[in-house]
């Protein structure tokens, strides 16, 4: 999946970088079982997927239209999940 860069807020001061996300899945199916191998975030990309600036006084001032010379000094957002490698096995019992 590709996500192009995008602005975080309406004033367009902060931009989230573009990123690629690769996940892999492969497996086998039997009559009563299935086996799956997977890798999430194959390239271990740590680009922020969501976030915001503030909270600070400059955001309230810029909302009133006075944004000349104001610089956002901090940014926050959830850390993206790391690369995860796993195996799943399911067995169906009964009729």
Measure the CA–CA gap between 88 and 40, rounded to whole angstroms: 13
Domain that holds residue 31: 2-91
Residues 49-58, buried b or exposed e (16+ Cβ, 10 A)? beeebbeeeb
How many domains, in total, are found in the chain? 1
Q: Which residue has the higher pLDDT, 17 or 22?
A: 22
Checking if the pLDDT of 38 tops 90, the result is yes
What pLDDT band is residue 23 in, cutting at 50, 70 and 90?
very high
Stretch 3-22: mean pLDDT, rounded?
A: 84
Condensed to tens digits (0 to 9), the pLDDT of residues 46-91 reads 888 888 776 555 555 556 555 555 555 567 788 889 999 999 999 9
What pLDDT band is residue 7 in, cutting at 50, 70 and 90?
confident
58 in helix, strand or coil? helix
Spatial contact of 35 and 89, defined as CB atoms under 8 Å apart: yes
What is the reported pLDDT for 65? 58
């Amino acid at each position: 999946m590709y996500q192009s860069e995008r602005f975080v807020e309406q004033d367009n001061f902060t931009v989230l970088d573009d990123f690629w996300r690769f996940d892999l899945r492969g497996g086998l199916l039997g009559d009563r079982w299935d086996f799956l191998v997977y890798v999430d975030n194959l390239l271990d990309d740590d680009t922020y997927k969501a976030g915001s600036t503030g909270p600070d006084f400059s955001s309230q001032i810029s909302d009133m239209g006075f944004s000349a010379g104001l610089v956002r000094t901090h940014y926050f957002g959830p850390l993206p999940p790391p690369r995860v490698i796993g195996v799943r096995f399911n067995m169906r019992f009964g009729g």
